[in-house]
Chain A
């Protein structure tokens, strides 16, 4: 009997061990490098299966409270975690779509009483172990902090029960409710209107980092990165990053790490709602920055748009780390709000390339330039698949007057380790979007697994695209989209190459799923999370959908 029981244990333990290595999505963009790549195989990486992708279950809050999902889901084990701008955070069974718990359980949402602190939860959570507990961390306004205007804090919850483990010290302050409304009367400039809405927490080496920005530049606040101790939630002594010596340089994104430094991008400093200012003595606005993880001291900073061209091209996409190996080393890649994208050496901050390559090799615009560096909408990060970056970027249209919007509904796949003339791998004009000059939020941040790219649209569609290595392309286009059959006739390819551009393939769309509520699924921090063979999408219509091949 004893012997049999011993054998049984051997088998059980063995099978349990073999189950390790789940296909989870534990933070915004999958992991702390923010590459948005599900590296483990599932049917979502099989083009034959993906053609049969369909909605499996639909969830909306069990309590009937209206929701709006501007953040995206993280998935740990079989549980889906997502916060809503209604101020509640939810756990859902990933297999059945049944609600497991809600935080707070009482009808007291995490929303401040002042508009500057009334944003709820608009960025994704991060999963981590705290003292042996499976925990989930997210940022939100705390209605019980101070006078309840909406000071921003981080919450750490037990992932199984939703019980509070800790609430952090205040990381973003709202000290008043006076807005500028076109000009900044007193006391607007002396009040703090800080937010952590669009910055998902980064957990690295026992520390939680989050970016601080403002609310619609009303008025602009000084950008910060705050760091708290993972076990206690208390501010980390000795860590400080502040973007400027006056105001500006908001951190609108989720910090990333390569295991050594902490990377993020910063917003504008010159012009803002209700005012403007002279150049700050210390100005790390409009920059991609690496800081030391223990002190916040700047290791390097890269600022391509000079102060006098700052017409509000906040750099809000954040950084993603790409491991280029012997081909191009370790890079951080991003796109600035004006549509120009960059790859920098992660260790030195030196520019490796700019796309389109307007001012290489420095990749910095001269102060007298004529390009648009305004409040345009290239705000979402890219997905990394091997040496390929898939991202919404402006492309060559940026070098045509008024062409700043030409990349709004297009995905570019860029070869990160190639030379400039082979930079573009493919371009896709994504269908089912409200395309046009005023429609900046047409597609969400893409994600990828096995060369299949997933992206949501503002018309409520989820689209899966096969890299040209998986499926033959369906056509082609010129890398300068102003060169096409309409402008150049049947010889458009000849004209394209005569102008120094490339004719590049257009990849095949495997499936285009209309989500049932038809609402916007391409909010600022919406991404299709890829876990356990399912795609999880939240919409502004208040639903979470799980899709898988049927």
Chain B
């Protein structure tokens, strides 16, 4: 029972890692990034390729994350410009369609060129026992990574100037401009940051089980659900929603099987959106 709970929390944390990027880009850039999962896959594949080339695992992962960030930079400075030129719903729709197209481009490319590449990281000690429960080391590693990442993110947003600027733009873009802040430049920072978080999520997936080029869309779908349930503008909400959905997923899988679990999860998501479109935990980022 505890083992399932732990599994659920860990999976949830990993989902939150993926989802927080969507929340950030939506809250700040006003764009729904449907290519988020692809950033994760790119990160994972870059890391896998580096490992194949003989680079030590840790460095390879770092390179993977940087690779994802680089892709995010390129996308923001090129593809998303037409979306940024619009405002409000127009921007949302255009951004959604552009990123959807991008997800196909990346997915198609990776599937074609690297369909045999996958990221699977194995740790020295596969598992250890605590109080009679066997815990996978990988689970702990993923949990640790996610917790540290989120802690850093929260600290960054709360204490640094850039973090405050980001929060200010999410809360009121006009107000931020009144202070002399250039929202466009900050948007780029956010997209790169989100892409790197996704890359980290991809690495975590590689630790937890394995990551292949075909997984991009699935990851995006889950990240989307977590982000929307948690509140597309609330980072706290995303974290909470991810863990919650992860726990539900773990318990439901154990008791009722894969398909019904998915339906329960998806149904929960739809139910939440209809009930509280702003998100379950929407109040502040």
Q: Do A and B bind each other?
A: no
A binding-site residues for B, Cβ under 8 Å: none
